[in-house]
Amino acid sequence: MEEPLLSVRGLTKHFKPAGFSRGSVVRALEDVSFNVPRGKVVGLVGESGSGKTTIGRSVLRLIEPTSGEVRFNGTDLTKLSAAEMRRQRKSMQYIFQDPFASLSPRMTIGQILTEGLEIQRAGTRQERTQRAKAALAAVDLPADAFDRYAHEFSGGQRQRIGIARALALEPQLIVADEPVSALDVSIQAQIVNLLRDLQIRLGLTMLFISHDLAVVEYICDTVIVLYLGRIMEIASSEALYADPRHPYTRALLSAIPSPDPAKSRTRQILKGDIPSPANPPSGCVFRTRCPHAAEQCARVVPPLEEVSPGHFKACIRHDVSG
Amino acid sequence: MHATPILDISGLKMVFRIGGREVAAVQDLNLTIAPGETLALVGESGSGKSVTSLSVMGLLPRGVGQVAEGSILFRGKAGQAQDLTKLDTEGMRQIRGNDIAMVFQEPMTSLNPVYTIGEQIAEPMRIHLGRSHKDAAAAAIKLLADVGIPDPERRAKQYPHELSGGMRQRATIAMALACDPVLLIADEPTTALDVTIQAQILDLLQKLQAERGMAVLFVTHNLGVVAEIANRVAVMYAGRVVETGTVADVFARPRHPYTIGLMRSVPKLGEATELKRKGIPLPTIAGSVPSLVQLPQGCSFAPRCPFAIDACRADVPSLYETGNGQKSRCIRWQEI
């Protein structure tokens, strides 16, 4: 089997309370392992506090993981020095959620697009300009955008600029963190199509973070469902939507309001709140809201088990979760 | 719905003064809501949906946004209709929080961080209904129980920061219900919430409405939420209603190209896999929402519309009756 581009093993991140405050440790990620094969899109889905953004940031070491390995092309990134990490980052780029906050208002689009190339000392000034212009063309923006400022563009266009900035470095891996969540519905589909098109055309490998399960279905090959910092289920997107195995995945899919009033509303409504990651439940973290929770669930952390080829779930209630 | 409406907005035009220029954020607006009915106002950024809800509440900053034309007739608890656009500050204050209450997107902006949850729910009952401190405090605890907050006695003594996002939104709903309003305006009340919590809040709102028979004006950008919660829907685009009708009719047979485009561009769960396999891109609406400062000539949607012809760019289309109370602001509604 070909080595995956990205391989995450036992990734754990605990945030310590700041300063002298007496709060408890926030367990944002607990023992997360998964692979991102070359040329594939892996989706990370989950609600607030599920750890999806923490994974994205840990992979690029924008935050330092507490323990675990992040192997990129076989190199464990967590062991690298800052200078070595900077060299690796050329091959990994991040697309942010908020296209209004992620572009400097004082720089021209050209400066924004060439900055990364300058930091990486890639090519001559002329070559850098050329690559930036090619990236603009790739995201369907006019060439004259190069000399304009971010405020002259709409939300959807700014997100295209954010994508162009990531593409300019010709990265091997793109981490896209809720790239369409801040956009209007009619613009979301345009950006999703652009990302899908670029992914296929350029053979990009992508970690796609989103809370929108319908968008994830369209763009991802594999989906990882997270809850309170742990993986609940991993499956191909076909299998996950047709045959969700984990009670949480089923509840999550059932909670999404369907834009079809004729559809029968047999919604399963989960009771209670998402627990605090500062004080997660013992055993299975989902058990406090799970309709099938048994006594055992409080005692053991359910291991991620393969239920059919490529389909994993972390639930010991095989009798109800299939 | 043939009952006398409790809210009747007619010919409303809301104007903002920006840099010496007048910009119409909402125009030609006609809407009615019957008692006990839920009307959803759906649209994207800049469509005018929030301006509409804020103008009903009289919450637009004076001197910035104002009513240029039209009326907002409201029939409150007292029974007779009054025009909200003609009321002074004091008159509006009597209605707000009493006859009409509002729930916003972000619960933290409507909760005061330095008062307990119980005090904030009790306050409108003391002000509008003249109830004693003790009486209102007891009623607040009952309301917290009604909105599904466990251990309401303890929660009433807590401050907003001690509650989760979902609990805070339940608390703002309790606050809105305190004076038993006849109209509840909910402006994106579930947008900031996680999807499993959103399901809980939608369920709660439906239950409370059935129990109390209040009317709801529900502002949202989410078509799934509209399908779940509303009886009727008004789709807004660039400050105007472009289509309106019952939810069943509009979702089954949309008669405006914008509504059709909007519905198609929302990827449907379980259908995307098929599109992906066939290599079909998600349907989109070309271009972007026009700026209110320079609306296109004629139909505002024409530059993005796949059905647009020259006639569309001549005049703003009127709302055509397409049957069963459904209306479309499109001159080609019969052909699409």
- Check residue A257 and give left, alpha or beta (phi > 0: left; psi -120 to 50: alpha): beta
pLDDT tens digits, B119-165: 999 999 999 999 999 999 999 999 999 999 999 999 999 999 999 88
- A98 close to A158: Cβ distance less than 8 angstroms: no
Q: What ranges make up the beta strands (E) of chain B?
A: 7-18, 21-33, 38-42, 65-75, 81-83, 100-103, 183-187, 215-220, 232-237, 240-246, 320-323, 326-328
Pairing outcome for strands B215-220 and B183-187: parallel
- Contacts of residue A316, defined as CB under 8 A and 6 or more positions apart, other chains included, come to A284, A296, A297, A300, A302
Report the gap between the CA of A269 and the closest CA in chain B (Å): 6
CATH code: domain A6-15+25-91+171-257+266-321 is 3.40.50.300
Amino acid at B277: R
In chain B, % of residues over pLDDT 90? 78
Q: Given strand B240-246, what is the order of strands in its sheet?
A: B100-103, B183-187, B215-220, B38-42, B232-237, B240-246, B326-328, B320-323
Return the SS3 of B323.
Answer: strand
Closest Cβ–Cβ partner in A237, A252, A259 for B195: A252
Structure tokens at A106: 């004082």
Closest CA in chain B for residue A155: B288
- B161 close to B130: Cβ distance less than 8 angstroms: no
Closest CA in chain B for residue A250: B196
Return the SS3 of A178.
Answer: coil
What is residue A265's predicted lDDT score, i.e. its pLDDT? 61
C-alpha span between A80 and A60 (Å, rounded): 12
Q: Chain A residues with CB inside 8 Å of B263's CB?
A: 259
Q: What ranges make up the beta strands (E) of chain A?
A: 6-15, 26-36, 41-45, 67-72, 75-76, 92-95, 173-177, 205-210, 222-227, 230-236, 305-308, 311-313
Report the gap between the CA of B220 and the closest CA in chain A (Å): 12
Closest Cβ–Cβ partner in A47, A186, A237 for B195: A47
Residues A259, B223: C-beta atoms closer than 8 Å: yes
Is any Cβ of chain B less than 8 angstroms from the Cβ of A214?
Answer: yes
Is any Cβ of chain A less than 8 angstroms from the Cβ of B303?
Answer: no
Closest Cβ–Cβ partner in B252, B273, B288 for A217: B273
Structure tokens at B252: 């089954």
What is residue A103's predicted lDDT score, i.e. its pLDDT? 93
pLDDT tens digits, B18-73: 878 889 999 999 999 999 999 999 999 889 999 999 999 988 877 778 899 999 99
Residues B196, A255: C-beta atoms closer than 8 Å: yes
Neighbours of A131 (CB within 10 A): 19
- Contacts of residue A48, defined as CB under 8 A and 6 or more positions apart, other chains included, come to A274, B165, B194
C-alpha span between A44 and A50 (Å, rounded): 10
C-alpha span between A70 and A80 (Å, rounded): 11
Q: Where are the domains of chain A?
A: 6-15+25-91+171-257+266-321
Report the gap between the CA of B92 and the closest CA in chain A (Å): 33
Q: Which of residues 272-301 of A touch B (CB under 8 A)?
A: 273-274, 289
Q: Chain A residues with CB inside 8 Å of B45's CB?
A: 155, 184
- Rounded to 10 degrees, what is the CA torsion of A62, A67, A68, A72? 30
Neighbours of A120 (CB within 10 A): 15
Neighbours of A64 (CB within 10 A): 9
pTM: 0.91
Q: What ranges make up the beta strands (E) of B109-214?
A: 183-187
pLDDT tens digits, A221-241: 999 999 999 999 999 999 999
Residues B248, A218: C-beta atoms closer than 8 Å: no
Report the gap between the CA of A296 and the closest CA in chain B (Å): 25
Residues B44, A184: C-beta atoms closer than 8 Å: yes
- Contacts of residue B60, defined as CB under 8 A and 6 or more positions apart, other chains included, come to B14, B51, B54, B66
What is residue A321's predicted lDDT score, i.e. its pLDDT? 67
For residue B261, pLDDT beyond 50: yes
C-alpha span between A34 and A11 (Å, rounded): 9
Neighbours of B106 (CB within 10 A): 16
Return the SS3 of B258.
Answer: helix
C-alpha span between B319 and B241 (Å, rounded): 8
Residues A257, B202: C-beta atoms closer than 8 Å: yes
The predicted model gives B174-197 an average pLDDT of 94
A97 CB burial (10 A radius; 0-12, 13-18, 19+): buried
Nearest partner of B193 among B217, B227, B164, judged by Cα: B164
- A176 close to A206: Cβ distance less than 8 angstroms: yes
- Contacts of residue A254, defined as CB under 8 A and 6 or more positions apart, other chains included, come to A266, A267, A268
For residue B1, pLDDT beyond 50: no
Domain B7-230 grouped into CATH 3.40.50.300:
yes
Closest CA in chain B for residue A261: B227
Residues B228, A258: C-beta atoms closer than 8 Å: yes
Structure tokens at A313: 């779930």
What is residue B2's predicted lDDT score, i.e. its pLDDT? 55
Pairing outcome for strands B232-237 and B81-83: unpaired
A145 CB burial (10 A radius; 0-12, 13-18, 19+): buried
**DSSP letter (8 states) at residue A4:** P
Where are the CATH 3.40.50.300 domain residues in chain B? 7-230
Residue whose structure tokens are 């009127």 = B318
Report the gap between the CA of B119 and the closest CA in chain A (Å): 23
Residues A214, B247: C-beta atoms closer than 8 Å: no
Closest Cβ–Cβ partner in A47, A193, A256 for B284: A193
Residues A211, B196: C-beta atoms closer than 8 Å: no
Cα angle: A226, vertex A229, A231; to 5 degrees: 40
Which stretches of chain A score pLDDT less than 70?
1, 19-22, 264-266, 321-322
Closest Cβ–Cβ partner in B44, B199, B282 for A255: B199
Cα angle: A7, vertex A8, A10; to 5 degrees: 145
The size of the A-B interface in CB pairs under 8 A is 139
Structure tokens at A18: 């700041």
Scored b (16 or more CB within 10 A) or e, B134-151 reads eebbebbbebbbbbbbee
Residue whose structure tokens are 């920006």 = B18
Cα angle: A103, vertex A5, A139; to 5 degrees: 35
C-alpha span between B119 and B123 (Å, rounded): 6
Return the SS3 of A181.
Answer: coil
Q: What ranges make up the beta strands (E) of A197-310?
A: 205-210, 222-227, 230-236, 305-308
Q: How far is CA A279 from CA A58, A228, A258, A282, in A?
A: 22, 10, 33, 9
- A60 close to A92: Cβ distance less than 8 angstroms: yes
Report the gap between the CA of B303 and the closest CA in chain A (Å): 14
**DSSP letter (8 states) at residue A284:** S
